[in-house]
Chains A and B, each alone.
Chain A
Amino acid sequence: MDMFSVLTDALIITIISFLPFEEAARTSVLSRRWRDLWRSTANIEFDERFFVRDNVAVETQRVQRLEFINFIRCWPHEDTAELILRRFMLRMSKPCEFKCDVQMCISFAISRDVEVLELDFSDPTWDENDMENHEPEFDLPMQIGLPALESLTLFACSFNPALLINLRSLKHVSFGWIAVRMSTLNDLLRNSTCLESLRLKKCWNLEHLSIFERDLALKTLVIDNCNFHQECFAVEAPNLRSFKYSGSVGNFELLFTRHLEEAELDFGSESEFDESGGELLQTLLSSLDCARVLKVCSYILQVVPTGEEPLRMQSPLNVRHLILNTALHRDEYWGIAFFLKSCPFLETLTLQMSPPRIFPDYQPPFQFDPSRFWSGNIERLYRCVLRTLKVVEVKGFQGTVNETRLLRYLLYNGRAMQELKLYLSNEADGHGGDRSVYFQRAVFVMGFPKASPNAHVMII
């Protein structure tokens, strides 16, 4: 018997509302009863990318875009006025071409008292890595009368800062591809005392970052490739659990507490080797020393050993899970050793293999022979490797010489090792290597001598 027969239509709609929009639409074929129920979902995503594909001709894309606009225009809105709408998301590039439709969408969402509002007018052709500041595609002309709004996302959509004053229930804010001033952020933090997460992506016009609100409830802070006038980041956030930063190296003064659980640093946009940058990085890392999960990039691996103490942090880090974005290039060896030595409680090590970002003027702290670096001489016997490291993951394993050297070292010395997971890369390596070759190499790694009788290698 159909299990859903004991539930009312309203209850099925509540269930559908927990599905992503595309999946909700697919429930239309389940049975006659389900045909139109999904149109009452409380979770609406009008996403251009459901209709417009990026691998077709421009003319076809234009037609697909019109199908998308038509879809929006045909969406039932009068007879559903009593239904709850919790989330409304609109993603569309070049909104100026359909300004009226966009405005009607926004009015529709406001009239239904949404809790989550997401407007994304960014263009998929914009390059996240360039420093270009794109003019906003749309301006929110009105005050948003949504005192119950909990989550707001605005991408490439400018707004009047005064709008934020009335949004006192805000918990999550995400701004992208727009100009934001520090004063706007400070007003936001002061007015929305429940704010839990703040994300800034590709924003510009920020003088610097200066966050010192008393009793800040903020739990998550993400700064993603923003353009600051001055690279100074002073943040006091006693409740912060998660801190993620990508962009240029700057002056960091971070006052976090033991609540900090994870930290991610990505200085991939730096283009020069800074031979005196180690000090700054070590100070930054010590302000993040409570984090249990730490992710660092290749730049950090190359530069951190240039501090006064090239071999390890002055005080150990609390890290249990270390994620390295690395090519396992020999210029990163000292950095990897630095972290292994600085994380005496490390339990999981994840190597996310990525293309090398190596600086031509890199200088190692000491002369060394790369082929013998991981040979397990006494300097390489780190506490975490010997005692606490249980799981090692390699994402994008290709079985290069550098990968196998490090893995041989870890298996040979890792007395607490339980699992080595090799996630094979799906990309060709340009020398005729492909997944089957990587598989063979992974099998070879399986045969390495292991210090831990429980260690077991998985190829995925």
Chain B
Amino acid sequence: MSSPPSASASSSPPPCPKKMITLRSSDGATFEIEETAALQSKTLENMIHENCASTLIPVPNITGEVLARVVEFCSKHAEAGVDDESLGAWDEEFVAVDHTTLFDYIRAANFLEIPTLLDLGCQTVADMIKGKTPDEIKKTFKITTACTPEEEEEVRGENQWAFE
């Protein structure tokens, strides 16, 4: 690849064209992502350094639908010159999805080791738990309790201070 000639008069090196990485999801869909954005993921970072020649990375655990959104997230967070407030607003919209999708993001962020996305997803779920009674939480997340009433009594007794 040839680099375009530098336009500035200073002695800085000519700008390099952005290196693109291609990711392939579990269901065979491919997505392009800039290398700088891919480095948000520790897993991808390691893979890039191991396979210096190849630019196609299989991501077996994540479907195309979720991977597309993850690529969007990483690209947005790798963008220069975005102020904290607008990035925060963008993040808020990003996680305004149904529970299933949200959990998919968390699992993808965990597998790809993207700390910003993992924290964002987990914080969002925590915010859904905050302020709710145990019954409300069980209902929201369809947790079918495997506790007998006696077991529940016992646990409440153990942590009585938290229930007063």
- Residues on A lying within 8 angstroms of B by beta carbon are 1-4, 6-8, 11, 14-20, 22-23, 25-35, 50-51, 67, 71
- Residue B152 at the chain A interface, CB threshold 8 Å: yes
Contact B146 A31 (CB under 8 A): yes
Which of A2, A20, A25 lies in contact with B141, CB distance below 8 A? A2
- Contact partners of A22 in chain B: CB under 8 A: 162
Is B144 part of the binding interface, using a Cβ–Cβ cutoff of 8 Å? Answer: yes
- Residues of the A chain whose Cβ atoms lie less than 8 Å from the Cβ of B159: 25-26, 28
A7 pairs with B107, CB closer than 8 A: yes
CB of B16 within 8 Å of the partner chain: no
Q: When the two chains form the complex, which single residue of B100, B127, B145, B156 contacts A31, counting CB atoms closer than 8 Å?
A: B145
* Contact between A3 and B161, CB atoms less than 8 A apart: no
* Bound-complex Cα distance A30 to B162 (A): 14
Closest to B163 in A: A26
Instruction: List chain A residues, Cβ under 8 A from B122.
Output: 11, 14-15, 17-18
- Contact among A7, A16, A32 with B106 in the assembled complex (CB-CB below 8 Å): A7
Within 8 A of A (CB), among B130-164: 130, 134, 137-138, 141-147, 151-152, 155-156, 158-159, 161-163
A2-B142, A15-B129, A18-B122 are contacts. A32–B162 as well, Cβ < 8 Å? no
A20 CB contacts on chain B under 8 angstroms = 130
Give the nearest-CB partner of A50 in chain B.
Answer: B161
Q: How far is the CB of A18 from chain B (nearest CB, A)?
A: 3
Q: Is B99 an interface position by the 8 A CB rule?
A: yes
How far, in angstroms, from A29 to B148 measured CA to CA in the complex?
11
Give the 3 A-B CB pairs with smallest separation, nearest first.
A18-B126, A25-B162, A15-B122
Are B103 and A50 within 8 A (Cβ)?
A: no
Q: B155, A28: Cβ atoms under 8 Å? A: yes
Does the CB pair A26–B162 fall under 8 Å? Answer: yes
Interchain CA distance A26-B155 in the complex, whole Å:
9
Is B26 an interface residue, CB under 8 A from the partner?
Answer: no
Point out the residues of chain B lying under 8 angstroms from A18, CB to CB.
Answer: 122-123, 125-127
B145 close to A51 (CB less than 8 A): no
Contact (Cβ within 8 A) B155 A35: yes
* CB-based nearest A residue for B129: A19
Q: Choose among A4, A17, A50 the residue that contacts B162 (Cβ–Cβ < 8 A).
A: A50
